[in-house]
């Protein structure tokens, strides 16, 4: 199509100010990956189902493939790189590592950000609640149990209280 106007955006990504001109059709996850070279957010389906592109925008986890880069104008965006460097998900990362709650690692950034949002909202989730909250994030390797274990471990550690394990 002719006469496509590039969109100027000002956004904050992982705490850094970003000013860019973007094609209107560029998705936010492609912008992060290809323009900002933040390749930790992954593209798994581009139709909003798999959750591999999960990123945090203005405090909420969203699908990076279902938002346009132009919509990030004025927004505060945090990808796994930023969350990792800021230590926001450090305990989750440690628990995932110790429990081997990842295999290929492709879904892992999305799992971490979504788990982090869950634990911000709910201090003592049951295993069923963890499973439900993570149900929009596909993992093809682990079978989920290790991920649930890891999130549960962190929830218990953060709450500093005892919990009845699996049931």
Partner 1 sequence: MANLKEMMQDHILDRPNSYIGKSVPRPNAKRLLAGRGTFTDDINLPRQSHVAFLRSPYAHAEIVKIDVTSAEASPGVIKIMTGQEMAKICTPWVGVLSHLEGIKSAPQHALAIGKACWQGEPVVAVVAKTRSQAEDAIDLIQVEWNELDVVVDMERALDSDIPVIHDELGDNLTWQRNVDCGDVDAAFKNADHVIEETYISNRHTGVCLETRVIVADYNPGEEQLTVYLSTQCPHMMQNLFAKHLGLEEHKVRIICKDVGGSFGVKVHSYPDEYATAALAYCLKRPVKFTADRLESFTSDIHARDHRINTKIAVSNEGEIQAFEIDDLTGIGPYSVYPRTSGIEVNQVVNLTGGQYKNRNYRAQARVVLQNKSPMCQYRAVGHPVLTLITEGMVDDAARRIGMDPLEIRRKNLIPDDSYPCTAPTGLPFEKLSHHACLEKLAKMLDYDALQKDKREARENGIYRGIGVATFIEVTNPGATFYGIGGAAISAQDGATLRLDAKGNLIVEISVTEQGQGAEAVVAQCAATAMGISLDKVRVITGDTDVTPYGGGTWASRAAAIGGEATVQAGKALKKNIIEVAGIMLQADPATLDIYNNNVVDKSNNTERISLEEVGRICYYRPDTLPKDYQSELVVTRHYVPKQFPFAFTNGVQGCYVEVDTNTGFVKFKKYVVVEDCGTVINPQLVDEQIRGGVIQGLGGALYEECLYNSEGQFLNGTMADYLVPMAVEMPDIEVGHVETPTLESELGAKGAGEAGTGGAPAVIMNAINDALSPLGGKVTRQPFTPERILMAIGKIT
Partner 2 sequence: MKPAAFNYKKPSTLTGVLELLRESGEDSNILAGGQSLMPTLNMRLSAPSLLIDINGVDELFGISVTDNTVRIGSMTRHAELEKSSVISEHIPLINAAMPYIAHPAIRNRGTIGGSLALADPAAELPACLCALRGFVEMTSTSATRKVEAKDFFRALYETDLKANEIITAIEIPRYDQNYFSFIDELSRRHGDYAMCGLAFHAKIEEKIISDAQIVFFAVEAKPIIAVTAMRELEGAKISDVSLEVLQGAVGNDLDPFGDLHASATLKLHYAKELIKRAITSGITSG
Contact set with partner 1 (CB under 8 A): 23, 25, 33-34, 37-47, 49-50, 52, 79-81, 84, 93, 96-100, 102-109, 112, 127-128, 130-132, 134-135, 137-148, 166
> Smallest distance, Å, CB 105 to partner 2?
19
Distance, in Å, from the CA atom of 51 to the CA atom of 167, rounded to the nearest integer, reads 26
CB 82 within 8 A of CB 11: no
Q: Which is nearer to partner 1, 72 or 78 (CB)?
A: 78
Tokens standing for residue 144:
């989920």
C-alpha separations of 50 from 2, 24, 63 in Å: 33, 23, 9
Q: Which is nearer to partner 2, 106 or 133 (CB)?
A: 133
Among partner 2, partner 1, none, what binds residue 8 when CB lies within 5 to 8 Å by partner kind?
none
Q: Pattern of binders to partner 2 over 122-141, x per CB under 8 A?
A: ----------xx-xxx----
Q: In the chain, where does DSSP find H-type helix?
A: 28-30, 80-85, 90-99, 108-121, 127-133, 145-159
Q: What is the rounded radius of gyration, in angstroms, for the C-alpha atoms of the chain?
A: 17
41 binds partner 2 (CB under 8 A): no
Q: Pattern of binders to partner 2 over 90-129, x per CB under 8 A?
A: ------------------------x--xx-----------
SS3 116: helix
Among left, alpha and beta (phi > 0; psi -120 to 50; other), residue 51 is: left
For binding to partner 2 (CB under 8 A), which residues are involved? 1, 3-5, 7, 23-25, 27, 30, 46-48, 51, 54, 60-63, 65-68, 70-71, 73, 114, 117-118, 132-133, 135-137
């Amino acid at each position: 199509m002719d006469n496509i106007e590039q969109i100027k955006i000002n956004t904050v990504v992982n705490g850094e100010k970003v000013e860019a001109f973007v094609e209107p059709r560029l998705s936010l996850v492609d912008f992060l990956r290809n323009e900002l070279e933040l390749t930790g957010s992954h593209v798994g389906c581009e139709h909003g189902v798999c959750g591999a592109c999960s990123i945090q925008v203005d405090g909420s986890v969203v699908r990076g493939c279902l938002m346009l880069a132009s919509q990030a104008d004025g927004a505060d965006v945090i990808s796994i790189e930023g969350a990792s460097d800021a230590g926001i998900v450090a305990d989750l990362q440690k628990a995932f590592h110790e429990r081997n709650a990842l295999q290929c690692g492709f879904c892992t950034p999305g799992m971490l950000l979504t788990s982090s949002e869950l634990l911000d909202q709910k201090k003592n989730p049951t295993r069923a609640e963890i499973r439900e909250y993570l149900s929009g994030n596909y993992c093809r390797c682990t079978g989920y149990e290790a991920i649930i274990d890891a999130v549960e471990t962190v929830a218990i550690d953060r709450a500093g209280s005892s919990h009845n394990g699996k049931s």
